[in-house]
Amino acid sequence: MTVSHVTEANGHTTTRRPLPCGIYAPTMTFFDPETEELDIPTIKKHAERLARDGLAGLVTMGSNGEAIHCTREEKVAVTRATREALDAAGFINMPIIVGATEGSVKGTIELCKQSAAAGGDYVLILPPSYFRAQIDEEAIVGYFTAVADESPLPIVLYNYPGAVAGIDMDSDLLIKLAKHPNIIGTKFTCGSTGKLTRVALATNAKTPTSEGSGYMAFGGICDFTVQTLVSGGSGIIAGGANVMPKVCVKVWNLYVEGKTEEAIALQKALSRGDWYLTKAAIAGTKQAIQSYFGYGGYPRRPLKRLDQAKVEAIAEGIRDVMEIEKSL
């Protein structure tokens, strides 16, 4: 659980980019609208825009990045392109967390190693779930321990029951796993601020005012940014930051600066707008980017493309928060 700038993980000694407190975006993966091949120039452009808009870090190949739709080679290519774009734009210190989940221990370790070679700094990993009936707590602990023992990159646990057949790691399990020296955080896409509070307290998680142990307790949705801060959290990894990164950052900064009432008021506007993206999922988020920034496109099949009426409804639904975004 100990995090330092100079890290020795499983025989790999490196000066690792630290994870600062703040807002992170799980970046979208963009595809050619006709061939569905990776659109590397747009992937790079998007990464640069998010960095310039003040995010603390990026996550490649997460759920919003359609990792499940990409080959291992494509995952590596996206991470490499993102690192190249950040470095070329002068953001050499911005960390990248890479979604590196595969079904087996062996496959996940291999992807962790390839993620490191591609420029990743940390990995984000879901619990195994395909053979759901056989996955109990013992299996989950065994999986994460085996991966953490061999991964050259420190691990952020990814608690997202909706993506793993309902597996919801409780605070006792997360605290147990946090004792491993190569497990350095959790992303709480479960939305449980109580769970986040307990884990942050037990791990002495990093906050904007305290380095603590360095453990990172990430809220997983931008519509509970203030709540994450109140709970002792370290940051937010949220899909909405692909669309309205400046508003997400502003909510965080207002609270950190002690402007609590302003932060709460802006959080309400952010939560209202983010709901339109949450409901419309990946296709809706990409079309929101298309509507307001001129690129975005579509998800890979089998995810459906939205009809024009839905695209317009999303654009209208987020209009108020996007007016704030443009003003910042």
Known catalytic membership, residue 304: no
Q: Which residues of 250-275 are buried (b: 16+ CB within 10 A; e: fewer)?
A: bbbebbeeeeeeebeebbebbbebbe
134 CB contacts (<8 Å, ≥6 apart)? none
**DSSP conformational letter for 221:** S
What is d(CA 318, CA 222) in angstroms, rounded to the nearest whole number? 14
Using a CB cutoff of 8 Å and minimum separation of 24, what contacts does 112-116 make?
A: 112/147, 112/150, 112/151, 112/152, 112/153, 112/155, 113/151, 113/152, 114/72, 114/75, 114/76, 115/75, 115/76, 115/79, 115/153, 116/12, 116/152, 116/153
Q: Are 143 and 103 in contact (CB under 8 A)?
A: no
Q: Which of 75, 113, 187, 286 is catalytic?
A: 187
Instruction: List the catalytic residues.
Output: 187
